[in-house]
Amino acid sequence: MTDTDGDTSVTTLTPRAQRTRAALLVSARAVFERDGFHNARITDIADGAKVAHGTFYTYFDSKESVFLALVDEMIADLFHENEDPGTAREHSNLQPIERLERSNREYLKVYRDNGRLIALWEELATHHEGAKARLDQGLQKYVDRSERQIIRLQGEGRADAALDPQYAARALTGMVYRFAYSWFGQGLDYDLEKAVDSLTRLWANALRMDQG
């Protein structure tokens, strides 16, 4: 069974097949990071996973589909789609400034750990509909999550009530996104914790947050 991008649905796979698919994804990541998207070869991905060339097509119908599967994993990590419910409840009890700090830290970590793939993703999105749709989806989910957080802070009297939450969310997420893009895309030398602290303070100051 495949989705619209040709990626075999994980839920229909046996445990052994899931391991094979996972090995293909690990290999694909290494090949893409080494060779770039356009120079990556399915033969090299299959070899890296130690499977026959034809086995690749049991799980993915093209190198675009395996690349988009890697993108989907990044999006899931960024938005905690596979997070344990207990961990989610624990994080929901954080103070607002702590939640904001956590969000900024984890966004930068995902970008740091996937910087090469993200750069390839943005390049592919200029001419591939599936890649562009996921890029737009990821950015919109980030904006929507931030907008909900701002609305919650305003309702609690902890943020400037005069701010339009949609506009504020778009502006502030854009700041973090462009910061991460310039940092990892241009290879600048920043310290993660200093970056998290600076971005969190900028968010808090922009929203006039009550940090108590």
- 70 inside domain: no
Residue found under tokens 């675009």: 64
pLDDT reported for residue 121: 93
Number of domains in the chain: 2
- 146 inside domain: yes
CATH number, position 95? 1.10.357.10
pLDDT reported for residue 166: 96
- 68 inside domain: no
CATH number, position 51? 1.10.10.60
Same domain, 141 and 203: yes
Same domain, 107 and 36: no
Same domain, 149 and 50: no
- 47 inside domain: yes
Q: Cα-flanking dihedrals φ and ψ of residue 21, to 5°?
A: -60, -45
Per-state percent for the chain, helix, strand, coil, to nearest 5 = 75, 0, 25
Per-position pLDDT tens, the chain of length 212: 344 455 555 667 899 999 999 999 999 999 999 999 999 999 999 999 999 999 999 999 999 999 999 999 998 988 876 555 555 555 567 888 998 999 999 989 988 888 889 989 999 999 999 999 999 999 999 999 999 999 999 999 999 999 999 999 999 999 999 999 888 877 778 899 999 999 999 999 999 986 55
Same domain, 43 and 119: no
What residues contact residue 23 under an 8 Å CB cut-off, 6+ apart?
A: 49, 50, 51
Same domain, 38 and 105: no
CA–CA separation, 205 and 21 (whole Å): 45
CA–CA separation, 50 and 162 (whole Å): 58
Same domain, 115 and 202: yes
Same domain, 117 and 59: no
Helix or strand or coil: residue 13?
coil
What is the domain extent for residue 119? 79-207
From the list 149, 6, 17, the residue with the least C-alpha distance to 72 is: 6
- 212 inside domain: no
pLDDT reported for residue 22: 96
- 72 inside domain: no
From the list 8, 16, 28, 14, the residue with the least C-alpha distance to 120 is: 28
pLDDT reported for residue 20: 96
Same domain, 103 and 38: no
pLDDT reported for residue 78: 83
Interior angle at CA 74, CA 31 and CA 84, nearest 5: 130
- 139 inside domain: yes
Same domain, 86 and 162: yes
Where are the extended beta strands (E) located within the chain?
A: none
Could you tell me the sign of the dihedral formed by the alpha carbons of 142, 81, 57, 19, in that order?
positive
CA–CA separation, 157 and 52 (whole Å): 60
Amino acid at site 133: A
73 touches 29 (CB < 8 A) = no
Same domain, 128 and 190: yes
Helix or strand or coil: residue 134?
helix
103 touches 78 (CB < 8 A) = no
Same domain, 107 and 172: yes
pLDDT reported for residue 68: 96
Same domain, 111 and 189: yes
